[in-house]
Chain A
């Protein structure tokens, strides 16, 4: 092993300049200045510099490696003499190879025969086997090494003090140029990011549909030109259940899918247009990742994992080693199939709406703190958009409620107008009716009529009676029903009704079957009103079976969903003709000669004033079942 002459130089530009032979140096200095004036772009600057150095130092190759953002690796950025295709592909750790060592120890390394130098690491793709001697110099910025500049020659060369001083001096004089260009690059990236954020927020403003919006948000998080994570998922806080609810997961199911999608994504030229088209486009294909996210519910407590913590502590987490992190829920981890991921809270007005979770499952690219910062900034925008969409949907719900209430109001106003009209009409009719009937009675009593005369006056009397009864019903109906409530067992009430109807049933040849559940609550009802309802329904049932006979089945069971009772009354009277089914609950609708048509509409009004519902299950040709649902609502209705 041959000893290699090495020297390290610290800063001291002016001293260096004096030591470098004057004529050569001045030319180099002016050229460096010209390059700096020519362009701000790093790539162009570096390319011009390597050419300049190769020319001025008489080297066959000159290359520049720069430290990457994490200050861990050296990356080939420009070369004159090596394969230009290897730019950005050659990556060295600090300490690795001659250049890596230069960077790590911040000293000049000269090697006469690098091919045999044990410190060398060769990269075949650079085609550098033809070069024998290497001179490698660190590029210093203050006390940091920001890169390495090195020259190579095909024939073996002993580097002189002067050679070393020349390259060191150049390195010292271009470091500010590189730094400058890097800052410019960063600023440009920041601007690009800001303009992407702008486009994203514009895209988010195009919709107030929450589902579409979430899709746009997650597309932003995953599309390469925006935030570029492999997968993203979004959870929203459900305040009622105090859980995080998985809303959507976006990301390919496999590495293959991922490549296919990313290939497509590289064709995106207009981010805004692409994002706004995402609402529909991606919605059609549901990935298993999406399904998994949508089925996930996480309680918001200290011990239910990192997602809940994100919401509770209102801060982002960058989890680098999830398996060994006690804060991470292992079950979730297995499902996600990753070891590193990040979470950010979605915050508006200091209220946490939810969290976005991202990972790089396919590229394994580590999530840097800068990535997380971008995501945090983005989440704020997303938060506002989600809040907007939510407010909108709440508004729409409220609107819908108002519309329903309005319709109910119109209906009840219509009814009350009808009621008032009926009352006035009844009053106007009642008086003449009383006189007609009253005098007809007097006629019948006072006059010695022929049998026909007697028959005619009796008809007048009975018809007047019929109209008087109708008026009484109308007035009862149109007046507000003011019930008196008490707790009562509905089974007992049914027994009472049935026993008082017993004779009518047997006379009509109707059999009554009872199926009364013992597991029912007593109801808070107006017994006389509910009795009226049963009588109305039973009366109808008996009437449609008179002469033919039949079976009435009356059944009680607990109401499903809340405390209460469902009562069903079935008959075998052939059912209700479909053409009149819609009308049976309407006031004054009747098919019977004797009825006033108020029985069922009054029943409906009574049941509704008890907070219940009445419906009909009609089996044309067989029979009909009236189904009454009565909730138990003690103290809710004032008597």
Chain B
């Protein structure tokens, strides 16, 4: 089985490092982007299997980026990551696969990603 590639989009460098390391430990390839434009380039370049998207970013925010991404790829799983739960009720975030509140405890993020890939795998087998 090929290693899954995850794109982490977050404007905070230390978060990108933390996420990368944690997810690499989980056995994924991780690439990062610090803003929406950067993310757009990386997606076209590397064709990731899953994207984690920070909501509050300077310039184009995560919600707007989510909307743009969905325009040309309806299937790629996207996990929204935010410091707070406010955007959970924002229907625009419903186009994402999951919504996670950032925490120093990475268990939720990791298990959510695992679940998403597991579901996709099952879906593929059924084809």
Contacts and interface: CB of A to CB of B under 8 A. Distances in A.
A557 B86 CA distance: 38
Interface in B78-127: 83-86, 102-106
A105 B37 CA distance: 123
A465 B84 CA distance: 15
B83 A426 contact: yes
A591 to B, nearest CB: 28
B102 A434 contact: yes
B27 to A, nearest CB: 16
Given A427-B56, A438-B22, A439-B18, A468 B103 contact: yes
A442 B21 contact: yes
A434 B103 contact: yes
Given A426-B84, A427-B83, A437 B104 contact: yes
A431 B104 CA distance: 9
Contacts of B14: 431-432, 435
B91 to A, nearest CB: 15
A82 interface: no
B73 to A, nearest CB: 27
Interface in A569-601: none
B83 A465 contact: no
Nearest to A440: B104
Contact of B84 (A437, A440, A442, A475): A475
B12 interface: yes
A154 B81 CA distance: 131
A541 B106 CA distance: 35
B76 interface: no
Given A431-B12, A431-B15, A432-B14, A438 B83 contact: no
Interface in A435-486: 435-442, 461, 464-465, 468, 475, 479
A461 B104 contact: yes
A427 B84 CA distance: 7
Nearest to A476: B85
A430 B84 contact: yes
B109 to A, nearest CB: 10
Contact of A431 (B21, B22, B83, B85): B83
Contacts of B22: 438, 442
Contacts of A433: 104
Interface string A405-431: 000000000000000000100110011
Contacts of A427: 56, 83-84
A441 B104 contact: yes
Contacts of B12: 431, 435
A97 to B, nearest CB: 105
Nearest to A437: B104
Nearest to B17: A435
A489 B85 CA distance: 31
A465 B15 contact: no
Given A437-B105, A468-B104, A475 B85 contact: yes
A434 B84 contact: no
Given A423-B84, A432-B14, A465 B104 contact: yes
A427 B86 CA distance: 11
B15 A464 contact: no
Contacts of B83: 426-427, 430-431, 434
A464 B15 CA distance: 15
Name the residue among B22, B83, B102 with the largest chain A CB count within 10 angstroms. Answer: B83
Contacts of A475: 84-86
22 contacts: A423-B86, A426-B83, A427-B56, A430-B84, A430-B102, A431-B12, A431-B83, A431-B102, A434-B18, A434-B102, A434-B104, A435-B14, A435-B18, A439-B18, A440-B104, A441-B104, A441-B106, A442-B21, A465-B104, A465-B105, A468-B103, A475-B86
Interface of B: 12, 14-15, 17-18, 21-22, 56, 83-86, 102-106
The 4 closest A-B pairs by CB, nearest first: A437-B104, A430-B83, A435-B14, A438-B18
Given A434-B83, A437-B104, A438-B104, 16 more contacts: A423-B84, A427-B83, A427-B84, A430-B102, A431-B83, A434-B103, A435-B12, A435-B17, A435-B18, A437-B105, A441-B104, A441-B105, A442-B21, A442-B22, A465-B104, A468-B103
